[in-house]
Chain A
Amino acid sequence: TQLLEQSPQFLSIQEGENLTVYCNSSSVFSSLQWYRQEPGEGPVLLVTVVTGGEVKKLKRLTFQFGDARKDSSLHITAAQPGDTGLYLCANTNAGKSTFGDGTTLTVKP
């Protein structure tokens, strides 16, 4: 079983601050996905990283895939209340996604 460990589990910050959340594993992945989930809704795909060392940007969100393809990070610049949610990393293979436990982010105005 390929386990994904996310940290921190909870994060509460003020609007305008920067933050980084992490997704780590002892396994090598062909790709990793990042999702954001709001209460009572399904996860929404943010990005897929595929190449070791890859950096992808989505507005204020920066995603990085580790050189060895065992870990990934999500950095948010100048967080806004709309960024509040559960951030999940996942690996998908043959119709089955394995998820980390997620980071619950709260951004206070």
Chain B
Amino acid sequence: KAGVTQTPRYLIKTRGQQVTLSCSPISGHRSVSWYQQTPGQGLQFLFEYFSETQRNKGNFPGRFSGRQFSNSRSEMNVSTLELGDSALYLCASSPGGTGKNIQYFGAGTRLSVL
């Protein structure tokens, strides 16, 4: 079974721009979660989608948004980029059913905001 795939692996943007990151979950997994990882804050939960609906949301500003498609693939968008948005963005998938929520992570997208 293929693992969680995130694209692109690296991105360089400038302040004020927007960016879209993509995540393809493990086949059969219906839950996709997004995390931001920085040296100072560690791994912080952004949001989780299950069956195309946002089911859970972390404490991030509205500039961070996401969506999930019918094939469970997910995208995350960050608008009006700030220098502090530079981070490793990780996507994780899980089956999503009751008791089936162990998460498997992709390799991440490294975003640098200049």
Contact = CB atoms under 8 A, between A and B. Distances in A.
Nearest to B30: A95
Interface stretch (A40-48, A52-60, A73-81): A40-48
- Size bracket, chain B contacts: 20 to 34
B33 A97 contact: yes
Interface in A88-102: 88, 92-102
A33 interface: yes
Contacts of A102: 42
Given A43-B90, A94-B56, A98-B45, A33 B107 contact: no
Interface of B: 4, 6, 31, 33, 35, 42-43, 45, 48, 50, 55-56, 58, 88, 90, 92, 94, 96, 101-108, 110
Contact of A42 (B42, B90, B94, B101): B90
B105 A42 contact: yes
A42 B107 contact: yes
A96 B90 contact: no
Contacts of B55: 94-95
Given A41-B107, A48-B102, A92-B103, A97 B45 contact: yes
B42 A97 contact: no
Contact of B105 (A43, A100, A101): A43
A48 B92 CA distance: 16
A13 B108 CA distance: 28
Given A95-B55, A95-B96, A97-B33, A88 B43 contact: yes
A97 B92 contact: yes
Contact of B101 (A43, A44, A88, A92): A92
A35 B50 CA distance: 23
- Residue picked from A44, A45, A94, A95, most chain B C-beta under 10 Å: A95
